[in-house]
Amino acid sequence: MLPALRRRTALAGISTAVLVGLTTAGLTVPAAAEDEVFRPQLVTVDTPTREDKQLLQTLGLDLTEHAGHDYVEVVLHTPADVAALAAAGLGFDVRIPDLLAREAEINRLNAAYAAATVSSPLPSGRDTYRTLDDYNADMAALAQDHPDLVKTFTLPHPSLDGRPIQGVEIGKDVTGPDRGLPVFLMLGVHHAREWPSGEHAMEFAVDLVKNYGTDRRITDLVDRSRVIVVPVVNVDGFELSRTDGALIDLRETDGGGTATILGTPGNAYKRKNCRLVDGQDTPDGACRAGSLTSPGGFGTGVDLNRNYGGYWGGPGASDLFADPTYRGAAAFSEPETQNIRELVSGRQVTTLITNHTFSNLVLRPNGAAPDLVPGSEGIPLGDPFDEAALKELGDAMAAQNGYTSQHAWELYDTTGSTEDWSYNATGGFGYTFEIGPDEFHPPFPEVIDEYLGAGAYAGKGNREAYLLALENAVNPETHSVLTGKAPAGATLRLRKTFASPTWEGSIQDTLDTTMTVGPNGRYTWHVNPSTRPVVMDRQVETVSGEPVQEQSWSGTTAPLQSTDQEFAVTQDVDLLEITLDWPTPDDLDLEVYRKNTDGSLTQVGSSGNAVAEKERVLLQDPARGAYVLRVSNFASVTPSWTLTAALFQAETSTVPGLVEAWTLTCERDGRVVQRVPVVVDRGQQLRVDLTACGRR
């Protein structure tokens, strides 16, 4: 619960309309009375404190990736969603009151753009969103038209609905043996409704192929790398979202007024995959019918970007199946995430970008805040070992598209995300791009502008940001390089098995990659460092043992009333901690205000936990001056309390790390002939002589 002053009913903006019966894909959506139909909305929820964001994540609502320091945007699918916000005391403003009407408007805009356009400025010339069949056809055409540069592949695990999940690999002599080049991996559509994420991934593939041989920069980058693109990871969810999104039909039937005839809202705004029964497979083709059990299909399935192994099961990932951020029955429980796990584990992916919408962000690890403490480790997460380098590249990419470069946790805490696992397990740099400012799949011209850049970023955009990421992937200073001699044609293998920490335990991971020695008997292998970032040294900030100043108050406050205490910060300190305690399992809340020179108050923190959970506000680097600490009695019948304010200096300490080794083997005719442990750091080139492999 939240402080009493912010507890208000937030029911404004609910819109209704007539849902006309329509048969789609063999399913009939029945007609309903006006007061029975709730139109899904996009709303901006007020979250001025971190505690507010944490509370919002417990409500089972459909959170977007569009958030700031004091708000998170949320899709409301039902009146119950609105009631959940009201009961929690979270206020909100309606930004798009009718997502289905907006979908219909977007369809009209897209149709008009396609009718007026022969070829768009995109590398492919496309003028509208692809379907799943379009993606597969485009990838096949790239390989057919450029057989020495492009090959298609099918990932090993089909989707729950039985669909293949496909990708392309791009590189010079791509059908030949792997010669140890660094790998750049581009992913799209983990979340079904985020159509531009697949478009940008696919356009980048087309861009590289189209300009290879004529653009010197692209030719050089492709010659020095292998680029792998999987434009649609969540094929089942995307197929439903894209199909249903195209069917929404808005027709003016009252002489230019606003009455609508609506096709099925269906799964246009579906988020998750097609897991219908937790932990169990279902017959192929069952997803559409199963998705009818929740509005828009958002309550069924697993959030794939909470299902990866890195700190799986922690903050920002729900353990309730119906919640939009449901993490799955176990880490990597879903075929889609298994596919990406095996893809990354089988290649030396030195840089990865996974695309999402929306919020105009470039996010880097970690997903959870540095002061959080996983139960599996017992020490704060701290910042990643490579924070400085990760930030430098993130900032450089954001300078091309105008996005904000930040830690993922600064959006809100998440665990089990793609790049958190890939970075911490392999050392390859990983980022999430949140494409576009304000919609999951906006009118198609906006997709073009985001890719190519517009306004101040014209000629840059995500295209240039992706090229910078590819340059990072091939730069030997950002990974490691092994060189030496070995028998021509021999297979070299790097392997490592280890425990990846989840939030409460660990899972076993294995990295197993190979390359083939060229005919001259020399090899150069671009690899990731032998020691994983998650076990390297890291710095954490901890509060000093004793406060430098402390003051306590005891008192009582009548129900629905509040009591103020004033506390002065008279010195420069790192932290101000305010705690509120009481002896009963009732509910008191805490608000903290900064007192301005004119006597007015500015709220700087609050804590409104659930019943029986005590309140705490932590302020970093508090300014000198007077603070008002307000105890609010929301629901306590025995209203005695103890309030404590304390100032602390924080200590920065280093958590010592480990050193890990690759096991490098040289194999001939399927037999291991030589085995060597290899310890190599980022930016290091190490010579490993394997000539003994040829003497046995």
617 and 473 together in one domain: no
Two tokens, residue 568: 């002065």
Same domain for 509 and 463, yes or no, is no
Identify the pLDDT of residue 613: 54
The whole-number average pLDDT for the span 404-408 is: 90
User: Is residue 264 one of the residues assigned to a domain?
Assistant: no
As annotated, the active-site residues are 434
Task: For residue range 34-84, list pLDDT tens digits in order.
Answer: 345 678 888 989 888 878 888 888 888 888 777 766 788 888 988 888 999
601 within domain boundaries:
yes
In the predicted model, what is the mean pLDDT of residues 369-391?
A: 87
Residue 658 has what pLDDT?
87
How many Å apart are CA 268 and CA 20, to the nearest integer?
17
Q: What percent of the chain has pLDDT over 70?
A: 87
Domain at 526, CATH number: 2.60.40
Check if the beta carbon of residue 479 is closer than 8 Å to that of residue 350: yes
How would residue 585 be classed by pLDDT, with cut points 50, 70 and 90? low
**pLDDT of 584:** 63
The whole-number pLDDT of residue 620 equals 67
- Checking if the pLDDT of 373 tops 60, the result is yes
Same domain, 61 and 158: no
In a domain, 365, yes or no: yes
Give the CATH number of the domain where residue 33 resides. 3.30.70
Three-state secondary-structure class, residue 633: strand
CA atoms of 282 and 269, how far apart (whole Å): 22
Do 522 and 609 fall within a single domain? no
- Spatial CA neighbour of 629 closest among 573, 598, 590, 668: 590
Q: Does residue 313 sit in the same domain as residue 372?
A: yes
pLDDT (0 to 100) of residue 37:
66
Q: Is the pLDDT of residue 21 over 70?
A: no
- pLDDT at residue 511 greater than cutoff 60: yes
pLDDT at position 537 over 90 = no
pLDDT recorded at residue 680? 96
Least confident of 16-25, 278-287, 481-490: 16-25
CATH number for position 579: 2.60.120.380
Is position 330 within any domain?
Answer: yes
**Domain closes at, from 62, 97, 132:** 97
Q: Is residue 253 part of a domain?
A: no
Could you tell me if residue 256 is inside a domain? no
Is residue 218 within 8 Å of 208, Cβ to Cβ?
A: yes
* Distance from C-alpha of 512 to C-alpha of 495, rounded to nearest angstrom: 4
Taking residue 192's Cβ as centre, other Cβ atoms within 10 Å add up to 32
8 Å CB contact between 675 and 499? no
324 lies in the same domain as 391: yes
Q: What is the pLDDT of residue 22?
A: 24
Q: 252 pLDDT exceeds 60?
A: no
What is the C-alpha separation between 384 and 365, in angstroms, rounded?
A: 7
Do residue 72 and residue 130 come from a single domain?
Answer: no
What number is the average pLDDT over the span 655-668? 91
Q: Which of 136-145, 323-332, 372-381 has the highest mean pLDDT?
A: 136-145
**pLDDT the model gives residue 634:** 62
Which of 462, 477, 492 marks a domain boundary? 477
Are both 509 and 361 inside the same structural domain? no
- Whether residues 407 and 306 fall in one domain: yes
- Is 531 in the same domain as 396? no
Domain count for the chain, please give it. Answer: 4
- The answer on pLDDT for 624 being more than 80 is yes
Print the domain residue range for 627: 545-648
Question: What is the average pLDDT value for the chain, to the nearest integer?
Answer: 86
Q: Is residue 391 part of a domain?
A: yes
pLDDT given at position 290: 81
- Chain position carrying tokens 């150069």: 524
168 vs 38, more confident: 168
Cα distance between residue 381 and residue 224, in whole Å = 35
Least confident stretch, 84-88, 145-149, 160-164, 514-518:
84-88
- Put the strands of the sheet holding 522-527 in their side by side order: 522-527, 480-485, 685-687
Q: What is the CATH number of the domain that holds 382?
A: 3.40.630.10
Looking at the fold, whether 305 and 361 belong to one and the same domain comes out as yes
* Secondary structure (DSSP) of 226-238: EEEEES-S-HHHH
pLDDT for res 488: 95
Q: What is the pLDDT of residue 574?
A: 82
Give yes or no for a contact between 32 and 38, defined as CB atoms under 8 angstroms apart: no
Q: Record the pTM.
A: 0.78
- In the three-class reduction of DSSP (H, G, I as helix; E, B as strand; rest coil), residue 656 is classed as coil
For the stretch 292-311, pLDDT in tens is 777 777 788 999 999 999 99
User: Are 496 and 447 members of one domain?
Assistant: no
The confidence band for 254, taking pLDDT boundaries of 50, 70 and 90, is very low
Q: Is residue 114 part of a domain?
A: no
- Pick 410 or 276 by higher pLDDT: 276
